[in-house]
Structure 1
Amino acid sequence: MEAEATYVQKDDVIEFIRANREIFEKKLLSEAVNVASKIHDILQRGNIDLLKNAEKLVGYIVEQDEESLIAFAEIEGFAWAEHSLTVAFKLEWVQAIRRTLWQFLNQFEIMNGTFSDKNDFFELEKRINDQVDQFLNTFFLSYTKYKDELLNSQRKLVEHLSVPIIPISTSVAVLPLIGMIDEYRMQIIEEKVLMDISRLKVQTLIMDLSGIADMEKNVIDHFQKVLNGINMMGSKAVITGMRPELVRNMIHTGINFVQKAETRGTLQQTLRHYLDIEKMM
């Protein structure tokens, strides 16, 4: 197949590749068999033109435009992550670009005889391979960064949904807390509580802790600061359902919620109490 290909001769490598674009693309597709069958799907799914981008990447590599190469890799990493495209395809595609570029450089050398010294060739080999590796490294860092940010965003959304502030009247709301409360979740609770007190105009927030067995000392300390924030927002905090394990831990750590919030036995008793007060008003 290569013997039948008729190359247009050019004195510049980039011009040589552009003048022989059809041959380059044909060789590239033959090198990346698995990706070749997915080119149309990737274009439809992510509006990513693999052949056009391959030519752009080769241009940055040959012209040693490292700044543009890194910026392009970051954009590519973001796009592939955003559209959940398979990174294995990307790796196969870039390695196919590397092999195809070297085939073209070999053909360019045959037609132009540019490498009079083998040291020149080895220097070129190192430079080009280093830039391909730089592209891949930057691509994967960008891809991973986007995926990590997406996971954190999804986790934060789930955590927000696990902090349900439920209005039971025009001025009273309930926050039932269940499960493990770590420092990260306490930050979500702080953010959600302060935002919803302002949004819902909550005057009394009943926080039911019956679904929490225990808290670490740093989490208890953070919770106390949340109670401070509730008071600063002009709202009253009422805590119900504290279990013996949690109370014991508070005693031993010297932290007490009593000065920051009213404490009551059960959520049912507390709701009855505050709803009766509202009826009397």
Structure 2
Amino acid sequence: MKLNKQIYDFFQERLEQLTEDWYNSLDKSDPEGIYATDDPERIANLKDQNFRFHKNLTQLLILEEEAFYEQFEDWITEISSDKEHLNTPIHFIIREFTRTREQYMDLIDEFSRQNDEVNQLRIDRWKDKIVRVIDRVVLQFTEETYKYQRKLLEAQKEMINELSSPVIKLKGGTALLPLVGDIDTARAKFILENTLQQCADLHISHLLIDVSGVVMIDTMVAYQLFQLIDALELIGVKSTLSGIRPEIAQTAVQLGLNFEKVHTVSTLAKAINF
């Protein structure tokens, strides 16, 4: 315990210097992310986060690991959810944790050279603790980054779906639903729910569904269209389907799809005139 307290004090005396050395040696040529900033306020915040990391991490030298992790968890959670770091490429983050680990390894070696009482076993134990903690932080940060990116992608996908399947009110109770691109199961479900809600909100009585921009209609897409048309009928909305291209009509015939019960016209212009 005596040596643990001595090396703890040794690190405490060097906390600010650790942060300054780290920042001064930082590669500031990164094309993006928190490490590339030249904003004084963001730099000060970055240094503060780094300083508190050292202040918390050095507690490992005098605390039991279970107690240490309970205390350190707040810092890990803060950094793992910090948008500045989450918007920084993950390989830049891991690079800095690696450089920080090297700082600790060097300081442990420096301390051991100044203290004859320190044997190799004690050195290895200290280094092993530091490596385990930093690996745990990297793992947790990577997991949080993954979750953040997934949420971001889902939000973007939802926005794209909304923009690519809008119900556009024309005149009176008539509206247009122009569909473009590929339609997979998830998008088809979104179109069904979104269209019904928008038609109800806009008090639509007749919806023109144009599929001239749809790349391909297979059994699943056709089934979803039929579901949409049936659901619209249940809420009092008539439907007209336009824009079925020759190659799509041929595919529909080959697949045995039946459009007999669906009112269809060849072009959107005819649908609007109708």
- TM-score band w.r.t. shorter chain: 0.7 to 0.9
- 1:252 and 2:266 aligned: no
Alpha-carbon distance in structure 2 between the residues aligned to 1:136 and 1:85: 14
Question: What corresponds to 2:39 in structure 1?
Answer: 41
Bigger shift: residues 99-108 or 128-137: 99-108
Q: 1:223 aligns with which of 222, 225, 228?
A: 225
Instruction: Using the TM superposition, give the Cα deviation of residue 124 of structure 1 relative to its aligned residue in structure 2, in angstroms.
Output: 3.2
Report sequence identity in percent.
Answer: 20
Q: Measure, in 1, the Cα distance between the counterparts of 2:44 and 2:186.
A: 34
Q: Which residue of 1 aligns with 2:196?
A: 194
Of the three residues 179, 182, 187, the one matched with 1:180 is 182
Q: Is the 8 A contact 2:11 2:58 kept in 1?
A: no
Superposition pairs of residues 60-139 of structure 1, within 5 angstroms: 62=61, 63=63, 64=65, 65-66=68-69, 69=72, 72-80=75-83, 84-110=87-113, 115-116=118-119, 118-139=120-141
Task: Return the offset for 1:245.
Answer: 2.7
Tell me the secondary structure at the aligned position of residue 215 of structure 1: coil
Does the residue aligned with 1:85 lie in a helix, a strand or coil?
Answer: coil
- Give the counterpart letter for 1:104 in structure 2: L
Instruction: Indicate if the aligned counterparts of 2:212 and 2:243 stay in contact, CA closer than 8 A.
Output: yes
SS at match of 1:11: helix
Paired with 1:258 and 1:69, the residues of 2 have a C-alpha distance of: 67
1:38 shift after superposition = 5.2
TM-score, normalization by structure 1: 0.75
Distance 1:198 1:46 in 2: 52
Contact persistence 2:207–2:237 (CA under 8 A): yes
Offset of residue 197 of structure 1? 1.0
Q: Give the letter aligned to residue 90 of structure 1.
A: I
Do residues 23 (structure 1) and 26 (structure 2) align? no
- My pick for the range that moved more, 189-198 or 82-91, is 82-91
Q: Secondary structure at the match of 1:22?
A: helix
Deviation at 1:89, TM superposition (A): 4.1
| Pairing 1:54–2:64 present | no
**Aligned-residue CA RMSD (Å):** 3.4
* The one of 134, 149, 152 aligned to 2:151: 149
Contact 1:39/1:50 (<8 A) preserved: no
Contact 1:176 1:208 in 2 (8 A): yes
Helix, strand or coil at the partner of 2:88: coil
Counterpart code for 1:52: F
User: Residues of 1 paired with 2:82 and 2:55: CA distance?
Assistant: 16
Aligned residue identity for 1:216: D
Compared CA separation, residues 60 and 210, structure 1 to 2 (3 A): farther
Task: Return the offset for 1:157.
Answer: 1.2
C-alpha separation between the residues in 2 aligned to 1:223 and 1:208? 11
Structure 1 residues not aligned, in runs of 5+: 1-8, 274-281
The 1:133–1:43 alpha-carbon spacing in structure 2 relative to 1, beyond 3 Å, is farther
